[in-house]
């Protein structure tokens, strides 16, 4: 199994979209990108931990490619919004791709460039950061599969 990690605003909706993909064997809400060794939702929510809300995706590379996961990432949030998605505002809701190797980095950069050249977002700049993966901190259990557990629709706007 391979691992990919994405930040695209509130992790509940991001997790929901990745769980729908055939070949994704697990999707976990968590935190990445900050300085703290251990963190909690309350610390991240306050916006001073440096972490982003992220989803770590475990996937079978024989059934789904990293490029397909990138396509899901790009199509389910607004990558031109700096430090926010919808009503969620702050650095913890930033658009980010955390890469684990040079192949993921290259694929992420290529897909970001292709999206920018596509004209989908007009003249707006794609602000998604592409950065090395850091330690993943799994979110508290009540956040895992939150929308399904609470019989809620996706909290993400689709673009």
Predicted TM-score (pTM) of the model is 0.93
Residue 6 lies in a domain: yes
CATH number at residue 63: 3.30.1060.10
Q: In this model, does residue 158 exceed pLDDT 60?
A: no
The whole-angstrom separation of Cα 53 and Cα 88 is: 11
The whole-angstrom separation of Cα 2 and Cα 100 is: 10
Total domains present in the chain: 1
Q: Say which of 2, 10, 29, 55 is annotated catalytic.
A: 10
Mind listing the pLDDT tens digit for each residue in 93-110? 999 999 999 999 999 999
The alpha helices in the chain, defined as continuous H runs, are 11-19, 41-46, 66-75, 102-118, 146-149
Mind listing the pLDDT tens digit for each residue in 19-55? 999 999 999 999 999 986 778 898 998 888 999 999 9
Q: In this model, does residue 153 exceed pLDDT 90?
A: no
Residue 155 lies in a domain: no
Residue 154 lies in a domain: no
Residue 104 domain boundaries: 2-149
Task: Clarify whether 10 is annotated catalytic.
Answer: yes
């Amino acid at each position: 199994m391979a691992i990919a990690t994405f930040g695209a605003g509130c992790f509940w909706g991001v997790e929901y979209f990745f769980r729908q993909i055939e070949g994704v064997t697990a999707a976990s809400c968590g935190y990445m990108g900050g300085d703290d060794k251990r963190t909690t939702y309350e610390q991240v929510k306050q916006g001073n931990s440096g972490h982003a809300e992220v989803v770590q995706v475990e996937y079978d590379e024989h059934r789904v490619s990293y490029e397909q996961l990138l396509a899901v990432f790009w199509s389910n949030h607004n990558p031109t919004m700096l430090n926010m998605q919808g009503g969620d505002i702050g650095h913890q809701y930033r658009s980010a791709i955390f890469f684990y190797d040079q192949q993921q980095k290259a694929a992420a950069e290529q897909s970001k460039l292709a999206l920018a050249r596509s004209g989908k977002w007009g003249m707006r700049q794609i602000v998604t950061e592409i950065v090395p993966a850091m330690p993943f901190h799994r979110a508290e259990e009540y956040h895992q599969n939150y929308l399904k557990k609470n019989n809620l629709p996706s909290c993400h706007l689709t673009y």
